[in-house]
Amino acid sequence: MTVSTSDEYRKLITPGSCVACHSHLCQLLPADRRDAAQGLLELNRGSRLEAVEGGGFPRLWNIVRGVAAITTLLADGRRQVIGLHYPGDTVWAPEPVGGTIAWLEAQTDCWICQIDTSAASHAASANEALQARLFTLVQRQLEEQAARIVTLGRLDGYERLCLYLGELASRIGRPMGREILISLPMSRADIGDYLGLNAETVSRILARIRKDGLVKFVSPTQMIIPDLARLEKAVPIATPGQRQAARLRNTATSGGARLATNGPARAGGAS
Amino acid sequence: MTVSTSDEYRKLITPGSCVACHSHLCQLLPADRRDAAQGLLELNRGSRLEAVEGGGFPRLWNIVRGVAAITTLLADGRRQVIGLHYPGDTVWAPEPVGGTIAWLEAQTDCWICQIDTSAASHAASANEALQARLFTLVQRQLEEQAARIVTLGRLDGYERLCLYLGELASRIGRPMGREILISLPMSRADIGDYLGLNAETVSRILARIRKDGLVKFVSPTQMIIPDLARLEKAVPIATPGQRQAARLRNTATSGGARLATNGPARAGGAS
DNA sequence: CGGGTAATTGAGCACTCTCAAGGACGGTGG
DNA sequence: CCACCGTCCTTGAGAGTGCTCAATTACCCG
C-alpha cells in the first residue's frame, strides 16, 4: 500500500473543495475533524488495505478511481472475493472478526478515500444528513451482498459470468456506438475467486459466451459487448440497469443520495 | 401473518418494562414514539413478513422467539434463503428493490418485534446510543452476509452442512452433558435453499455426516452432536495462525497475490 | 529474443442435479 | 384401532457441471 503525496492529489483534495469523489461524504463530517477523518490513498494493483478496529463506528472506503475487491481467505488457502467495487462506490470496511479477516485489494491501480466516521460520531451524532447517508449506503451494501448470495447459491457458471460482464459493462464500460468496450480488471483466477469458480472454468465459459456471440474478444483482457440487453437476457434476473433505475426511484426522496449503483442482481437457478 | 393480541404477549410487552427481548433497542427510541415504532408480531410457521419502504431509515426485525429466514422467491418459483436468524438476532429488513423482494419467513412459529427507526430518526438523530447500536447491528449483518458469500462460493456441500449444524448447535442447541441436542427448524428442501443445494443432496450429505460419526440421528428432525469441536473442524474457518500461513503461501508468487489452486469441486448449481 | 506469467485446451474425475421410486411419519376418518 | 392420504425423507441411477492435473499457446516486459 502506498500513501501518495503527489501533486495530482493535492489539487484534488484541497480541504474544503475536494473534488476527488462525487459523494462528498467527508463534507458531512464536522469541520474540525474533516482532516483527521479522511485520507486519499493510492493503491497499486495487488496491494491491500486492511480495516482496523473502528470502535463500533464505521470506517468507509470510497472508491475514487480503479476497481477494488473485498477479499478473504480460508484456512486452506481457498480464496473468495466477497465484493467488487467500482468508482463511485462507498464500502463499509469489514472489521476483523474472530480469526477471519477481509481486506480491500486493488484489482487495478486505485485511489481510495478513507473516511473514519468514529472521528465524527461524537461531535456529529446530531448530523442528520450524515446519518441518512450512512443508512442509504449500508442499505445498498446489504442489498448487493444479498444479491451475491443468490448469485453464488443459485446461478451456474455461464449465468454468473454473463452477470459479471454486464456488471463491468455498466460500471466501467466505454460505449462505442451501440457496442460497449470493457477492459477486464481482473485475471481469470481473480474472476473465479469472485464468482466461486476456478480459472480454467472461467476461461472455458468465456469461450462459450464468445461462441454464442454475446461478447467479442479484442484481447484476453479486452472485450466488446455488441448487445448488452442480449447478454443480460442470459441471466434470469433483474438487470443492473433496472436495479439502478429502481434505486434512483427509491432514493430520490431520501436526502439526495445518488450514487451510481449496481451490483449483481437476483438469480435464477436450480433447486 | 398473524398479529397476536394474546395475553401472553400483553404481559411481555408492557410499555416501559418490555421483556420480550434482550436487546431493548426500542427503549432507545424517543419515549413518545415508542409505541408507534414497535409491535410484537406472531408468525406461524411458513408465514411471511414483508418490509415496506422505510424512507431511507431502517426497519428492524428483532427475533424474539423461533427461527426466521430472509428469503427471495424467483419468478419461476425457486427460492434462495439469504439469511437465517435466531432468537436474539436483529435484522435490518430488506427493502424492495428493482422488482425483487426479499421477505422474512418463519421457519418455526416466531415472535418478531418490529422496530421502525424512521419514527425515531427525526426526533432522535442525536440519540448516540441508538446510533451506535444500529452501527453495531449493521456491522454484524454485513459480516454474516460476507461469511455466507464465502460459504456459498468456496465450501462444498459437506462443509456447508457441517457449518449449518454447528450454527444450529450454538444458536438453538440444548446441551445434554457433553453432547448437544438440536431440532432442525427447516425441512431438507429449506436447508437446501439456504445452502445452495437441493433437498436430495442435503439428505445424502447428512447421511454421510452421520456415517462419519459427527452427528447422531434421533429422528429426521432431531439430532445429537456428540462433539461440536470435531464437527467444526470439518470446516476450514481460518484461525489467525492458519490465516498467516495461507497468506504467505498466497503472496509468495507475486505482488498480485495469485492463488494456485481453488476450492473443492463444486458442480451443478443450476439450470 | 528469452523468461515468466496468464490464458487456453484436453482428459479424466468428483460432486451435485434430475428424475424416479420407496419408506417413514402424522393426521383424519371410518 | 386401523386404513388412507399427504408430506417429508431417503435412496438409486444416470447425466450434467465444474474441478484437477497437465500440456500448450499467447502475451508482456526487459
Query: For A68-79, what is each residue's pLDDT tens digit?
Result: 999 999 988 899
Residues B111, B147 within the same domain: yes
Q: Is residue A247 part of a domain?
A: yes
Picking from A95-104, A144-153, B135-144, which range would have the lowest pLDDT averaged per residue? A95-104
What's the confidence (pLDDT) of residue A7? 53
CATH number where A231 lies: 1.10.10.10
Among A182-191, B92-101, B117-126, name the most confident range: A182-191
Cα nearest neighbour of A255 on chain B: B56
Q: Which nucleotides of C are covered by protein (CB under 7 A)?
A: 5-11, 13-20, 25
Average pLDDT, chain A: 78
Q: Which of B153, B170, B192 is the last residue of a domain?
A: B153
Co-location of B33 and B94 in the same domain = yes
Q: Are residues A105 and A187 in the same domain?
A: no
pLDDT band at residue A258 under the 50/70/90 scheme: very low
Confidence of residue B21 (pLDDT cuts 50, 70, 90): low
**Same domain for B139 and B38:** yes
Decide if A20 is inside a domain.
Answer: yes
Among A100-104, A114-118, B63-67, the minimum mean pLDDT is found in: A114-118
- Tell me whether residue A24 is in a domain: yes
Reference B167, options B89, B58, B105, B71; nearest CA is B89
Number of domains chain B is built from: 2
Residue A80 distance to chain B (closest CA, Å): 6
Q: Burial letters for B115-138: b for 16+ Cβ neighbours within 10 Å, e otherwise?
A: bbbbbbbeebbebeebbbbbbebb
CA distance A115 to A137: 13
Distance CA B220, CA B188 (A): 9
Give the pLDDT score at A148: 96
Does residue A270 lie in a domain region? no
Say which amino acid occupies A6.
Answer: S
**Domain of B178, in residue numbers:** 156-250
**B49 and B80, same domain (yes or no):** yes
> Is residue B32 domain-shared with residue B135, that is, in the same domain?
yes
Q: What proportion of chain A, given as a percentage, has pLDDT over 70?
A: 68
**Closest-CA distance of chain B to residue A263, Å:** 12
Average pLDDT (A226-241) is 80
Q: Which of residues 131-150 of B touch A (CB under 8 A)?
A: 131-132, 135-136, 138-139, 141-143, 145-150
The pLDDT score that the predictor gives to residue B239 is 52
Average model confidence (pLDDT) for chain B? 78
The pLDDT-based confidence of A204 (bands split at 50, 70, 90) is very high
On whether both B68 and B143 belong to a single domain, the answer is yes
Higher pLDDT, B83 or B33: B83
- Is B147 in Cβ contact with A100 (below 8 Å)? yes
Which window residues (144-173, chain A) lie with Cβ within 7 Å of strand D? 156-158
What confidence score (pLDDT) does residue B4 get? Answer: 42
Is B262 a domain residue? Answer: no
The interface residues of chain A toward chain B in range 227-256, judged by CB-CB distance below 8 A, are 236-238, 242-247, 250-251, 253-255
Question: Which of B82, B103, B150 has the highest number of chain A CBs within 10 A, making it the mutation to test binding with A?
Answer: B150
Residue-level pLDDT at B256: 31
Of B132, B152, B243, the CB nearest to A99: B243
> Is residue B54 domain-shared with residue B131, that is, in the same domain?
yes
3-class DSSP assignment, residue A84? strand
Is the per-residue pLDDT at A11 higher than 60?
Answer: no
Q: Output the pLDDT for position A8.
A: 54
Residue B2 lies in a domain: no
Percent of chain B whose predicted confidence (pLDDT) is above 90: 47
Mean pLDDT of B109-118: 84
Of A28-32, A56-60, A245-249, B252-256, which has the strongest mean pLDDT?
A56-60
Count of Cβ atoms closer than 10 Å to residue A178 Cβ: 9
Q: Which residue has the higher pLDDT, B84 or A5?
A: B84
Residue A59 has pLDDT above 80, yes or no: yes
Q: What integer is the mean pLDDT of A48-61?
A: 79
Domain membership of residue B162 (yes or no) is yes
- Cβ A219 to strand D below 7 Å: yes
**Residue partners of A98: CB distance under 8 A and separation at least 6:** none
Q: Does B93 map to a domain?
A: yes
Residue type, A92: W
Q: For position A113, what pLDDT does the model report? A: 87
End residue of a domain, out of A68, A91, A126: A126
Give the angle B94-B96-B100 at the CA atoms, nearest 5°. 110
B115 plus B144 within the same structural domain: yes
More confident residue, A248 or A21: A21
